Chains A and B, each alone.
Chain A
């Protein structure tokens, strides 16, 4: 095997409730703070407690394809990829719901007698075909369905394949759009917040608030700017405690984070902050908090914690690329994003997350990203520009 090379994230794009371009998203992030957060959410949740995209569309089908087109083209444009380079893109997609909103739309029309076709598609491979055609890729797209770790698992594999020179460049797309199945499904599991204020790790935390967003990350073996972050290491495991909850001891999540650090050849003291998964569910408030405490104890030090779901909602399988894209945008602007909504530690939480943006003043940064999924899939990933 040839010696490994690095894998850089040379472009990224995000379309979420904060906006559809980096400038708009950063402006929003910088304008929301602990004082006006609740008012912001009241306005955002006028129709339902959900973080919606900033645009309306004529149909679910139009929405899906326009959103994908938008983030992919933004990424390609940012990197100024040539047509030849686009053909070299290996496509990786991560999502929980994939295109189920299209099937809901098709089924509703059929149920009303307005169509004689009950389904838009069976299986999600068609999304891969669409992206292959959009980019003229010579590669066969691969879709990951590992619930909330889908897109971060896709990213980890893409990065490792580039680092080991199996592929030259990759496009990793995370997509999660509103659909009744997911919204009503989480409701039936009684996991959604009733207070409609997102407060992970907080004493008043009462559950998840879902959101929709789509992101694309471009991965290459060479940086396009001195600020580009690169993949340093990751770990994926299966916590077999329960289908819907993590082991409350936090040990599987702790092992995942610890192994990710080991694979990245980093000590916790070298990590500038941890982006926690922080769903706001009772189980995660316990299990992930315990995991972080175990990590701090093992390494004999602490590091700042932040959580991004109060900004864009829980975007499930796409949360990997969405939250990484958002983090990278904030870091390029010179700050670590805060955890909005937090006021007082929940029982058993031994840390206070960042409450205000922290300026980096051009400092190079190591970040540990954490994601935890239904079905026990747990992934931690380290990015760096040091």
Chain B
């Protein structure tokens, strides 16, 4: 898997109008009624693949830890009231249709997945994309992690004390072609525990270990280990070679 482009948006909480305005410069599809989560997703994905030729068989893999929480809150408010009427666009908004909007904006009719895996959503999505690419189920992949800021929810209402106060939309584009690639993903491995991971990598730790999203700056290192783990110690290691 050869990474050609990455894009990272991690910014303080911004209103929906900000992303509508930014997105209007990138695509013309009708997103007038889209929620902030969807706008973040489409903006990040399109920013990643600007000027990048895409194959007809592009796979889109959207990872999210929390999904469209603002729409969820709107719907919970609506059903809790006496009449319980749910606004159609709020209902559609909680059904994680962001990957559809991305596919429509890119005219991509290939595989299309929305995925969650507690604390390891992006890594599991990338693992799936890596599988599809190496098994020729798709010809290129667009893999992203999207989560909107939880600022609008008081900390006491965040069940696990979730601290996400940023808007995030971080993407990478990859295919099987080494030409003009910026990095190569050598391997993606999953471990049942951090100790099990250290048994394998402990003595071979390369020059850089990244615990955050893969960015072009980080990838410039000759060999990068991206490591992510959940609260129980299960972890995923991604070996990346800078090119």
A140 touches B79 (CB 8 A): no
Q: Mask for A105-145, Cβ within 8 A of B = 1, else 0?
A: 00110010000111111111110110010000011111111
Chain A contacts for B60, CB-based, 8 A: 238
Instruction: Give bound CA distance, A153 to B61, whole Å.
Output: 13
Chain A contacts for B78, CB-based, 8 A: 184
**Chain B residues numbered 69-105 whose CB sits less than 8 Å from any CB in chain A:** 69, 72, 75-80, 84-88, 91-92, 94-97, 99-101, 103-104
Any chain B CB within 8 A of the CB of A174?
Answer: no
Instruction: Give bound CA distance, A147 to B94, whole Å.
Output: 10
**Chain A residues numbered 86-111 whose CB sits less than 8 Å from any CB in chain B:** 96, 100, 103-104, 107-108, 111
A107 touches B76 (CB 8 A): yes
Chain B contacts for A147, CB-based, 8 A: 95-97
- How far does the Cβ of A161 sit from chain B's closest Cβ, in whole Å? 7
Instruction: Give bound CA distance, A82 to B14, whole Å.
Output: 51
Q: Which of A132, A188, A240, A375 contacts B88 (CB 8 A)?
A: A188
Chain A contacts for B112, CB-based, 8 A: 146, 236-238, 375-377
B118 touches A129 (CB 8 A): yes
Any chain A CB within 8 A of the CB of B159?
Answer: yes
Which residue from chain A places its CB closest to the CB of B137 in the assembled complex? A160
With A142-B117, A185-B91 as given contacts, are A240 and B79 in contact (CB-CB < 8 Å)?
no
A238 touches B91 (CB 8 A): no
A123 touches B67 (CB 8 A): yes
> Which one of B150-158, B198-206, B219-227 is at the interface?
B150-158
Any chain B CB within 8 A of the CB of A244?
Answer: yes
- How far does the Cβ of A102 sit from chain B's closest Cβ, in whole Å? 10
B109 touches A124 (CB 8 A): no
- How far does the Cβ of A112 sit from chain B's closest Cβ, in whole Å? 9
Any chain A CB within 8 A of the CB of B113?
Answer: yes
A117 touches B88 (CB 8 A): no
With A237-B109, A240-B107 as given contacts, are A185 and B66 in contact (CB-CB < 8 Å)?
no
B117 touches A185 (CB 8 A): no
**Chain B residues numbered 8-41 whose CB sits less than 8 Å from any CB in chain A:** none
A124 touches B104 (CB 8 A): no
- How far does the Cβ of A72 sit from chain B's closest Cβ, in whole Å? 18
Q: Which of B67, B92, B97, B236 contacts A140 (CB 8 A)?
A: B236
Chain A contacts for B76, CB-based, 8 A: 103-104, 107, 118, 181
Q: Mask for B145-167, Cβ within 8 A of A = 1, else 0?
A: 00000100100111110100000
Any chain B CB within 8 A of the CB of A239?
Answer: yes
A122 touches B117 (CB 8 A): no
B157 touches A119 (CB 8 A): yes
With A96-B95, A375-B100 as given contacts, are A140 and B120 in contact (CB-CB < 8 Å)?
yes
Any chain A CB within 8 A of the CB of B128?
Answer: yes
- How far does the Cβ of B98 sit from chain A's closest Cβ, in whole Å? 9
Chain B contacts for A122, CB-based, 8 A: 66, 69, 150, 153, 158-160, 162
With A125-B118, A145-B114, A161-B131 as given contacts, are A188 and B87 in contact (CB-CB < 8 Å)?
yes
**Chain A residues numbered 321-355 whose CB sits less than 8 Å from any CB in chain B:** none
- How far does the Cβ of A96 sit from chain B's closest Cβ, in whole Å? 7
Instruction: Give bound CA distance, A279 to B117, whole Å.
Output: 29
Any chain A CB within 8 A of the CB of B176?
Answer: no
Chain B contacts for A270, CB-based, 8 A: none
Instruction: Give bound CA distance, A138 to B93, whole Å.
Output: 34
A240 touches B113 (CB 8 A): no
Chain A contacts for B104, CB-based, 8 A: 240, 376
Any chain B CB within 8 A of the CB of A23?
Answer: no
With A119-B159, A139-B190 as given contacts, are A374 and B92 in contact (CB-CB < 8 Å)?
yes
Chain B contacts for A161, CB-based, 8 A: 131
Instruction: Give bound CA distance, A141 to B232, whole Å.
Output: 12
A107 touches B80 (CB 8 A): yes
Which residue from chain A places its CB closest to the CB of B234 in the assembled complex? A140
Chain B contacts for A166, CB-based, 8 A: 131
- How far does the Cβ of B198 sit from chain A's closest Cβ, in whole Å? 16
Chain A contacts for B94, CB-based, 8 A: 100, 181, 185
Instruction: Give bound CA distance, A166 to B124, whole Å.
Output: 14
Instruction: Give bound CA distance, A111 to B104, whole Å.
Output: 38
Any chain B CB within 8 A of the CB of A164?
Answer: yes
Chain A contacts for B117, CB-based, 8 A: 125, 128, 140-143
Give the interface of A toward B (CB within 8 A): 1, 96, 100, 103-104, 107-108, 111, 116-126, 128-129, 132, 138-147, 153, 157, 160-161, 164, 166, 180-182, 184-189, 236-240, 243-244, 252, 374-377
28 A-B pairs in the complex with CB atoms less than 8 angstroms apart: A117-B156, A118-B76, A118-B153, A119-B158, A123-B64, A123-B66, A125-B118, A140-B117, A140-B118, A141-B118, A144-B115, A146-B114, A147-B96, A153-B113, A160-B135, A180-B84, A180-B86, A181-B79, A184-B91, A187-B86, A236-B111, A237-B111, A238-B60, A240-B104, A243-B97, A374-B97, A375-B96, A376-B112
The 3 A-B pairs with the shortest beta carbon distances in the complex, nearest first, are A125-B118, A185-B91, A375-B100
